[in-house]
Structure 1
Amino acid sequence: MNTDVVNILTMAKVIQTAVAPVFLITGIAATLGVLSNRLARITDRARTLERKLKTSSDEDFNHSLTTELRALLKRARYIHLAFSLSVLSATLVSAVVMLLFMANIQSVNLGTAIALCFMIAMVLLILAFISLLGEVYLAFRSMRRGMIFADIDLGE
């Protein structure tokens, strides 16, 4: 068989192998969209509370606003951590794709580096999801404590 044909077939196989990580990058991008929306909502709520805090002279009301602002800051930290971990994960998955092609073009065994990058990317993604779960827990806890829906009778 012609060497060019073998190279083309080998490259086609590398492209097939690289498709799965590319889909993973797409999934991470969707996660980043979710995280961005959550952070935007937290930021909008914090700005609203800060405006109320500046205009109010009621001590008790200001204390409740400050408490909610602290909770929002904690939530924003969790989202920021999840966002950062997700971006690092996507970067490593991109490195996996690049290393797959480099290994083929240079005829170098980069299997260990590829596996290591992929495993670290998965650990980072797991940590990002745990951080997101922490933020959701904080949001739910804030709601349960009455900071949100305080005036609604839930019939309990």
Structure 2
Amino acid sequence: MNGDVVSILTMAKVIQTAVAPVFLITGIAATLGVLSNRLARITDRARLLDRKLNNSQDEELKDHLTREMRALLKRSRYIHVAFSMSVLSALLVCAVVMVLFVSHLYTLSLGVTLSSCFIAAMLLLICAFLALLAEVFLATRSMRRGMIFKDIGE
């Protein structure tokens, strides 16, 4: 076989290998969409509460609104952490794809680098999902404490 044909076939295998990480990037992008939506809802709710807080003269209502604002702030912090870790994970997955091609083009042995980037990406993604789970727990705890649906009986 001609050397160019072998090189093209080898490049085709590299492209096939790079497809899995690209699908992972798509999944991370979907996660970022979910996180963005949750953060937007938190932000909208915080703006509404801020307007109510500034217009209210009732101290009891102000205390209630302040508690809910604190809960929203905690939730937004977890979303921020999850968002940051997801983006860093996606960047590392992009680096994996890039290193795959660089290692093929320059015939370098970058297996340890590839593995390290991929493991770090997965660890960041795990932490991002844990932060999202913590935010969901905070949201449901707020509902149970009566901040939301307080007039609805069990």
Structure 2 equivalent of residue 126 of structure 1: 126
Could you give the per-residue CA deviations for residues 5-54 of structure 1, whole angstroms, max 9, x where no partner exists? Answer: 00100000000000000000000000000000000000000000000000
Could you give the per-residue CA deviations for residues 96-141 of structure 1, whole angstroms, max 9, x where no partner exists? Answer: 0000000000000011000000000000000000000000000000
Aligned Cα RMSD in Å?
Answer: 0.4
Structure 2 equivalent of residue 148 of structure 1: 148
Q: Partner of 2:150: helix, strand, or coil?
A: coil
Structure 2 equivalent of residue 53 of structure 1: 53
**Is 2:9 aligned against 1:9?**
yes
- How much does 1:153 deviate? 2.1
Q: Which runs of 4+ in 1 moved over 2 A?
A: none
Could you give the per-residue CA deviations for residues 65-90 of structure 1, whole angstroms, max 9, x where no partner exists? Answer: 00000000000000000000000000
Look up the equivalent residue of 2:96 and give its one-letter code. V
Q: How far apart are the structure 2 equivalents of 1:152 and 1:47? A: 24
Q: How far apart are the structure 2 equivalents of 1:133 and 1:152? A: 25
What are the equivalent positions in structure 2 for 1:38-49 lying under 5 Å apart?
A: 38-49=38-49
Structure 2 equivalent of residue 103 of structure 1: 103
Look up the equivalent residue of 1:143 and give its one-letter code. M
Look up the equivalent residue of 1:111 and give its one-letter code. G
Structure 2 equivalent of residue 33 of structure 1: 33
Look up the equivalent residue of 1:30 and give its one-letter code. A
Look up the equivalent residue of 2:132 and give its one-letter code. L
Unaligned runs of 5+ in 2: none
TM-score normalised by length of structure 2: 0.99
TM-score normalised by length of structure 1: 0.98
Unaligned runs of 5+ in 1: none
Q: How far apart are the structure 2 equivalents of 1:115 and 1:55? A: 56
Q: Partner of 1:146: helix, strand, or coil?
A: coil
Number of residue-to-residue matches in the alignment: 154
Q: How far apart are the structure 2 equivalents of 1:37 and 1:3? A: 51
Look up the equivalent residue of 2:152 and give its one-letter code. I
Q: How far apart are the structure 1 equivalents of 2:124 and 2:152? A: 39
